[in-house]
Amino acid sequence: MKRISVFDTTLRDGEQTPGVSFPINYKIQIAKQLDKLGVDYIEAGFPVASKGEFEAVKTIVNLDLDSKICGLARIVKEDIDSALDSGVDLVHIFISTSKIQIDYTIKKSREEIINDSVEAVEYIKDHGRECMFSAMDATRTEIDYLKEIYKAVEEAGVDIINVPDTVGVATPFRFHNLIKELREHLKVPIDVHCHNDFGLAVANTHAAVLAGADQVQVTVNGIGERAGNASLAEVVMILKSLEGIETNIRTEYLVETSRLVERFTGFRLPPNTPIVGDNAFSHESGIHAHGVIKEASTFEPGVITPEMVGHRRRIVIGKHAGRHQIKKMLEDAGYIVNEEDLTKIFEKVKELGDKGKKVTDLDLFTIAEVVIGELRKEDRAIVVDEITVLTGNKITPTAVINANVFNDSRVKSAIGVGPVDAALKAVRELVGETIKITEFKMDAITGGSDALAEVYVTVEDDSGKSFTARAAGPDIVMASIDAVINAVNYLMIKKRLDSKKKEKSED
């Protein structure tokens, strides 16, 4: 099968997500990440929208990326000139073609719309740039008129035709038929842009490719106007894993890219998000976990692995956990348990789960230590002696931690955007290793100004090993530090145990 081109519009349509606005430094970082990911086109913005938008697009053009850079423009000379002046490789022009939009927005005759579109394409081509033409609201446009305007711009020299489902009303079968009919009518490459108002953006994009579309428009995490656009990760992995259709995307960077955009938008993905969500390769059910431990493809698609997308597989403990997975997690952490002790640990985990508690790795190991009488407090990697946190109206939040790390006395400090951020950065400085906090949640578990805060964290080391822990207390800074240190303690102990096992095996 032919290779499909990927057109990413995170910086344009994605930024139209209500509540999202990327400052120029964010746009630069996202553009560089998209280039690293391997997208063919980056729609960097709408240059005429503002002076800042123009400068952002121009700056991205000057990054000299491998991806081609695109700028959006209405079929208005001022818009097109702004895009051309920004230096983009591709000018993406659009005009409404559906009856409802013609009647209520642009109020031009259909002949005028075609003539203006042709003139715009010719103007862009005369300036030596690539041109993409979009018939806005194509899926609500009469098919005969759609064919007429697309044929007119094709004859004018357009490079790519875009078929946008602007208001997200297409369905896969109808969209497949539309693209198939247009494919038979046109010679130029066809690109599709699908919105997710009915949750069908990815399905419609998939159907369009099977019908003959050459290029897909997507956004990272599916962000965009209203309910968003087709998700880059989902579209690419459906094409690759289920259809055997290749793209230029380096899929091992999908999760990394998703996390970057998640952080810059402030919109946290639901854990059950396909491909890149926290739970995409996580298993709690005992039956599923047992099968996955034996052979991953028993309860995963098989045609996709976590490593393919830069993810990791997790076995999660909860009330649905099975004895086999609990025993495996304990053994991996260096705990040797007999069947009698395993039964007690298993029952205690179920009891916690039935109370609605999220059972962390630390909870499991604490239960195990109590049951088998092997409390490891003397083996803790980090023992905190003193913590000082400074914050205030005119004070940069600063944390200083005095602690013993494997019996080595250390004092470390860090600044942050707030007291909790500063404290967590100080902990990272303390251990002197690459420790990432991949999940941080906080809930008030009692009412009032002296409410107890419960903090839940997941930390990960540079090898990809992760550990979950929780802590609670009236001081949110101290609860946060306790939770992180609890998790880091076990990660560091596990690292030492693994190192000792390796040394023994080599001997």
* Over residues 302-317, mean pLDDT: 75
In the predicted structure, residue 287 carries a pLDDT above the cut 60: no
Question: Percentage of residues in the chain with pLDDT exceeding 90?
Answer: 54
On whether the CB atoms of residues 220 and 258 are closer than 8 A, the answer is yes
On whether the CB atoms of residues 350 and 317 are closer than 8 A, the answer is no
- Mean pLDDT across the chain, nearest whole number? 86
Provide the pLDDT confidence category of residue 289 given band limits of 50, 70 and 90. very low
Q: Under DSSP, is residue 266 helix (H, G, I), strand (E, B) or coil? A: coil
Provide the pLDDT confidence category of residue 135 given band limits of 50, 70 and 90. very high
Among candidate residues 295, 358, 350, 303, the one with its CA nearest the CA of residue 326:
350
CA separation, residue 410 to residues 187, 403, 404, 416, 439 (Å): 69, 5, 6, 20, 26
Lowest-confidence pick of 2-6, 121-125, 349-353: 349-353
Tell me yes or no: is domain 379-505 CATH 3.30.160.270: yes
Q: What is the CA radius of gyration of the chain?
A: 27
Tens-digit pLDDT profile for residues 466-493: 777 777 777 888 888 888 887 887 777 7
Q: Is the fold of 5-265 the same as that of 379-505?
A: no
At residue 121, the pLDDT reads 98
Provide the pLDDT confidence category of residue 50 given band limits of 50, 70 and 90. very high
How many angstroms separate the CA atoms of 387 and 377, rounded? Answer: 20
Per the listing, tokens 């539309």 go with 178
How many angstroms separate the CA atoms of 87 and 70, rounded? Answer: 9
In the predicted structure, residue 205 carries a pLDDT above the cut 80: yes
At residue 444, the pLDDT reads 65
In the predicted structure, residue 322 carries a pLDDT above the cut 80: no
At residue 284, the pLDDT reads 47
Lowest-confidence pick of 97-111, 151-165, 204-218, 431-445: 431-445
* Over residues 433-444, mean pLDDT: 76
- Residue ranges of domains in the chain: 5-265, 282-375, 379-505
In the predicted structure, residue 95 carries a pLDDT above the cut 80: yes
Per the listing, tokens 């049951």 go with 371
- In this structure, which topology does domain 5-265 adopt according to CATH? TIM Barrel (3.20.20)
C-alpha distance across the termini of the chain, in Å: 51
Choose from 207-221, 309-323, 433-447 the range with maximum mean pLDDT.
207-221
At residue 164, the pLDDT reads 98
* Over residues 371-385, mean pLDDT: 64
In the predicted structure, residue 105 carries a pLDDT above the cut 70: yes
Question: Percentage of residues in the chain with pLDDT exceeding 70?
Answer: 85
How many angstroms separate the CA atoms of 2 and 68, rounded? Answer: 20
Provide the pLDDT confidence category of residue 101 given band limits of 50, 70 and 90. very high
Kind of pairing between the strands at 382-392 and 395-405: antiparallel
